Amino acid sequence: QFLFAIGCCVLFFITIGNIFSAFVSWYSVRFSFETGANISSRLLKFYLEQPYLYFLTKNTSDLQKKILSDVTRIISCVMTPFLILFNRIIFSLSVFIGLLVIEPRVAIYTAVSLGVLYVAIYALTRNYLYSKGKWSAHYDSLKYKYLSEIFVNIKQIKLYGSEENFI
């Protein structure tokens, strides 16, 4: 009967933890997308407030890319993962503190082991991920530029029947 009571308590705490985790994840994603919409709107407002001469020296496909793609990339690849990481760190710290109270030696050993593992993974992947991010941003910029140029010149493309050159 004692084991049954302990099992019910554990199940209760796991359920509460999962509900809290789901709520925090939902709120983090919601906050991220609201922030992305806000940043995009402010960026568009900034561009619209510029004089016409500003647009003569800028490639409008780059401006479009900044509003649509770069903001989305920052939100989905930086802000949302950071918020999720922050939430998991808070959860892990609470588990660590609980474990520290119950079994200090195991808590310290586990924290040091996970810390060393994290530093090793970070050191091994940092440069690779940075270079892939730069590569992705470069080719994303080219994609917007070429698409913009195609649609600006669609009349000439159709007139000369050169659609196959752009596919």
Question: Tell me, what's the pLDDT at 116?
Answer: 92
Q: Tell me the average pLDDT of the chain.
A: 82
2 pLDDT exceeds 70? yes
36: number of Cβ within 10 Å: 18
Residue 66 burial (C-beta neighbours within 10 Å; 0-12, 13-18, 19+): middle
Q: 74 burial class (0-12, 13-18, 19+ CB within 10 angstroms)?
A: middle
pTM (whole model) above 0.75:
no
- Asked if pLDDT for residue 146 goes beyond 80, the answer is no
Residue pair 78/84 in contact (Cβ under 8 Å)? The answer is no
Q: Once rounded to an integer, what is the mean pLDDT over residues 117-136?
A: 86
Rounded (10°) angle between helices 80-102 and 104-152: 180
